[in-house]
Chain A
Amino acid sequence: MSHLNPQSDIPDPILAELFQQTESALAKLPAASLGRRSFLKLMGVAGGGLTLAVGIAPQLAEAQDREGDLPTLTAFVRIAPSGEIYIYAVNPEIGQGVKTSLPMIIAEELDASWDDVIVEQSAIDSRYGRQFAGGSLSIPMNWMALRQAGAAARAMLVAAAAKQLNVDAASLRTDSGAVIAPDGQRLSYGSLAEAAAKLDVPKRVPMKDRSDFKLLGKRITGVDNEAIVTGKPLFGIDTRLPGMLYASFARCPQFGGVAKSANLEDIKKMSGIKDAFILGAKGTHADLPSGVAIVGNSTWSVFQARKQLKVEWDTSKASTLSWTDSAAKAKSLAAEDGEKVVSESGDVAAAFGDAAKTVEGFYTYQFASHAPLEPQNCVAWHKDGKMEIWAPSQTPQRAPASASAATGIPASDITIHQTRIGGGFGRRLLNDYVAEVAAIAQRVDAPVKLQWTREEDIQHDHFRPGGFHSLKGAVGADGKLSAWQNHFITFAFGGRPVSGGSLASDEFPALNVDNCKVTQTQLDTGTPCYAWRAPGANAFGWVMQSFVAELADAAGRDHKEFLLEVMGEPRWFKEGNTRSLNTGRAADVIKLAAEKAGWGKTLPPGRGMGLAFHFSHSGHIAEVAEVSVDANKKVTVHKVVVAADVGPIVNLSGAENQVEGSVVDALSTMADLEVTMEGGVVEQSNYHNYRPLRMRSTPEIETHFIQSEFAPTGLGEPAFPPLAAAVCNAIHAATGHRIRTLPFSKEGFSV
């Protein structure tokens, strides 16, 4: 399994704690959690309407209560007397759709008409609970709390109506924003809001049966869609303030280099330039690096000056990472066990001795950049000793700490505003751009917008680490998987494994095979790496599910049957823990994807079909790709069929969009995207040499959901990991060639 591992994924202890608390609380969720028992806290009345705030997810609250902490408040509903229902979206919107889906959960239990709902982005405030976008956690951590928020408000409106009509509340029902009396009289929520807000808040409220859901599971279009297609300011980069200046910040091409001197006087003389100065590194390696700031009166003027900037860097302690050297080192270690044993079971040597067939494979995958389309940027305004920041950040609650580290201003004097975000993919879990703009703003008597160039965004990323897996597997005389051995050669930064740089002891198929030995070796990067959409899983899914297919081939078995056999009897790997693999859910999606794709049908020569399953972020997802490959190794992915079980779907349109996007992102990444470094310097710079997929290479994508009774979980990440294995397995079926290096352009393939 490859959920976020707090020890390896998070570069600072506070953020690690945030994820750890969320993960461990979610792990305690009952397996079937559409139940009614929950927890609620409410805040007072404001603005003449009903204002409602609920506690954080009940399980988290209970966990915190046990520790003696009070739960913080997380969401608001306001019902105006005019009937408009204002719902705050509290988590950062990075394209995963939570600005629409989270308010839908409240509206469902409130029994509101979606047409009456107006969604507003909330402020950043600890009373809203944990406001971050990461780990595909927004839905699971908010599901019960937001249902309670809606249900409690509904109960209060019903109680107000009962009082007004002098009838028993049990005789009333609700429908589309109104309470309905036994005689059919409709009392609108707007007319009841003021009276309802004066009532005591129910401690525990019943919630709807799933069969009564009217809104959840429907296709609802994004609440910002109209603003997006008319060009309204929404994103961080769109922030404009009176008298705002613009800044560029030059970092050393080798990570960790220190600016010694620069032609600052020449720069300051340039047209449109107000100031230029050197900043020293402060905070962690994910806060403020050493560099040179240029401040001017337009983005273009600072970009022009940036081109003329000459900096002398001290690179004595800077990264010298070389992809070529790393790959050579990994190859040299392939035949050995790694320095650390991750998992060991049975008798691997004996199983290989008894094997009917043995297969070996050395798998290599590349470093990758997040490359969100909105380059990093941030606006800060320093006045009266305090600072206000407009940050397109996935962790806005962590942003004050970064700004404080860079400036010495107490975090309590730093206010963060969240904006819509032009792509996250994990990049914006970090707040280095916040630290940078804060340090610059402290020196400037005006609001300042820091704008990274595309080149800086690619070259100064915290990358998805490359990796190497030296695999050996065996099938017995009975044709079953009998042994699995892997030496994972990966990377560490500052002595700690990087995100995606360690295998969990229960990583597939460690618990599915009797004889298994997994070891790993970590090479030091010197260049930072960080969580990149489906950390770990985004590469492990390809490696493990490709190699299982290799073993099925070696056994002369049908891949689907072999994979189902490896899954074994339906069971939880951790009983009752929805964050762990359930082999029954796995088998169901494998069978469904195969059935919908026509698995086993006869295909013309040059065509092939490939299957893969991967479990990550609580999502059980199987994918089948159908491809053809021509004589020039040009691959056409005709169709991808996806079967997913993430429990009940909140917004069907949003869910399908996440699956479709994950398929395209994964295909793009496996095909041609690659970051290489030599001497610590990144060799790619912009979209001409870091080439994402275009429309013409997009396959037909068909998505099927098994809407099981388990608690709903997130879908921003788990549809990514199976895709590369499905496509490579299909290429093998079409051509007989097994791809063991990504991107597959390295093996001469293209899309």
Chain B
Amino acid sequence: MSTIKLSINGQEQTVNEVDPSTPLLWVLRDSLGLVGAKYGCGIAQCGACTVHVDGQPVRSCSTPVSSLEGKQITTIEGLADDGKLTAVQQAWVDHDVAQCGYCQAGQVMSATALLQAKPNPTDEEIDQAMSGNFCRCGTYKRIRAAIHTAAENQGEKA
């Protein structure tokens, strides 16, 4: 058992009495009460647990918390700025993407990372970047459309 310091959504967090092999997902959900990242498979197959580590999308279910000291972690809770949704989040709302909604936090995190790297992705680039995120309800058509809308709106803002 260890004490681990994490930087999450710009805030320093100290987690006590934690097994260093614990995946970040369970520290977020059980220890810190950040439940936006979801448990779906535990083996980095479904993407429901996606967060950003130093800006890159990672599967928090398979990332030991001990590997994250000194890194910047961003979760779905850290995207909106003072309640104002990001272009990606707003596009998700406007396109009414969600059905059950369980995978969507992970989808939004992957899409956000994609648009940071490629502000105007093609359908092929979207399919590639989103290939690690599974939606059991089958909302892919709307996810793709929402990413294009977010790209346009981000472009206008910039």
Interfacial chain A residues near B142, Cβ < 8 Å: 657, 660
Contact of B35 with A240 in the complex, beta carbons under 8 Å:
yes
Instruction: Quote the shortest CB–CB distance from A42 to chain B (angstroms).
Output: 33
Contact of A229 with B92 in the complex, beta carbons under 8 Å:
yes
Grouping DSSP codes into helix (H, G, I), strand (E, B) and loop, the A interface class, with mixed when no group exceeds half, is loop
Given A230-B77, A300-B26, verify A688-B43 contact (CB < 8 Å). Answer: yes
Interface contact tally, CB-CB below 8 A: 193
Interface string of B76-104 (1 = CB under 8 A from A): 11011000010001001110111111111
Interface string of B20-40 (1 = CB under 8 A from A): 001100100111011111111
Interface string of A225-239 (1 = CB under 8 A from B): 110111111110110
The yes or no answer to A372 lying at the interface (CB within 8 A) is yes
Task: Scan residues 99-158 of chain B and give those whose CB is less than 8 A from a CB of chain A.
Answer: 99-105, 108, 126-128, 130-131, 133-144
Interface string of A364-404 (1 = CB under 8 A from B): 00000001111100000000000000000000000000000
The yes or no answer to A696 lying at the interface (CB within 8 A) is yes
Interface size class of A (residues with CB under 8 A): 35 or more
Among candidates B40, B43, B92, B138, residue contacting A664 with C-beta atoms closer than 8 Å:
B138
Number of contacting residues on B, CB 8 A?
Answer: 60
Contact of B100 with A240 in the complex, beta carbons under 8 Å:
no
Given A225-B98, A373-B102, verify A660-B92 contact (CB < 8 Å). Answer: no
Interfacial chain B residues near A220, Cβ < 8 Å: 96
Interfacial chain A residues near B29, Cβ < 8 Å: 299
Contact of A240 with B134 in the complex, beta carbons under 8 Å:
no
The yes or no answer to A219 lying at the interface (CB within 8 A) is yes
Interface string of A545-571 (1 = CB under 8 A from B): 000000000000000000000000000
Contact of A422 with B38 in the complex, beta carbons under 8 Å:
yes
The yes or no answer to A2 lying at the interface (CB within 8 A) is no
Interfacial chain B residues near A219, Cβ < 8 Å: 96
Among candidates A229, A298, A662, A686, residue contacting B43 with C-beta atoms closer than 8 Å:
A686
Among candidates B23, B75, B96, residue contacting A654 with C-beta atoms closer than 8 Å:
B96
The yes or no answer to A423 lying at the interface (CB within 8 A) is yes
Among candidates B1, B22, B35, B143, residue contacting A231 with C-beta atoms closer than 8 Å:
B35
Interfacial chain B residues near A372, Cβ < 8 Å: 100, 102, 136
Among candidates A95, A221, A233, A298, residue contacting B22 with C-beta atoms closer than 8 Å:
A298
The yes or no answer to A66 lying at the interface (CB within 8 A) is no
The yes or no answer to B73 lying at the interface (CB within 8 A) is no
Contact of B22 with A300 in the complex, beta carbons under 8 Å:
yes
Contact of A231 with B34 in the complex, beta carbons under 8 Å:
yes
A700 to B145, CA, bound (A): 11
Instruction: Quote the shortest CB–CB distance from B118 to chain A (angstroms).
Output: 16
Give the nearest-CB partner of B36 in chain A.
Answer: A231
The yes or no answer to B54 lying at the interface (CB within 8 A) is no
Among candidates B39, B75, B133, B137, residue contacting A423 with C-beta atoms closer than 8 Å:
B137
A688 to B22, CA, bound (A): 22
Contact of B139 with A694 in the complex, beta carbons under 8 Å:
no
The yes or no answer to B45 lying at the interface (CB within 8 A) is yes
Interfacial chain A residues near B136, Cβ < 8 Å: 371-373, 423, 425, 665, 692
A271 to B18, CA, bound (A): 10
Interfacial chain B residues near A230, Cβ < 8 Å: 36, 76-77, 79-80, 85, 89
Interfacial chain B residues near A686, Cβ < 8 Å: 41-43, 45
A238 to B142, CA, bound (A): 25
Contact of A422 with B101 in the complex, beta carbons under 8 Å:
yes
Among candidates A229, A240, A299, residue contacting B26 with C-beta atoms closer than 8 Å:
A299
Contact of B26 with A298 in the complex, beta carbons under 8 Å:
yes
Instruction: Quote the shortest CB–CB distance from B130 to chain A (angstroms).
Output: 5
A686 to B42, CA, bound (A): 9
Contact of A696 with B127 in the complex, beta carbons under 8 Å:
yes
Among candidates A298, A300, A373, residue contacting B40 with C-beta atoms closer than 8 Å:
A373
The yes or no answer to A136 lying at the interface (CB within 8 A) is no
Among candidates B23, B33, B75, residue contacting A240 with C-beta atoms closer than 8 Å:
B33
The yes or no answer to B19 lying at the interface (CB within 8 A) is yes
The yes or no answer to A96 lying at the interface (CB within 8 A) is yes
Interfacial chain B residues near A229, Cβ < 8 Å: 76, 85, 89, 92-93, 98, 104-105, 108
Task: State the B residues within 8 Å of A (CB).
Answer: 1, 19, 22-23, 26, 29-31, 33-43, 45-46, 48, 75-77, 79-80, 85, 89, 92-94, 96-105, 108, 126-128, 130-131, 133-144
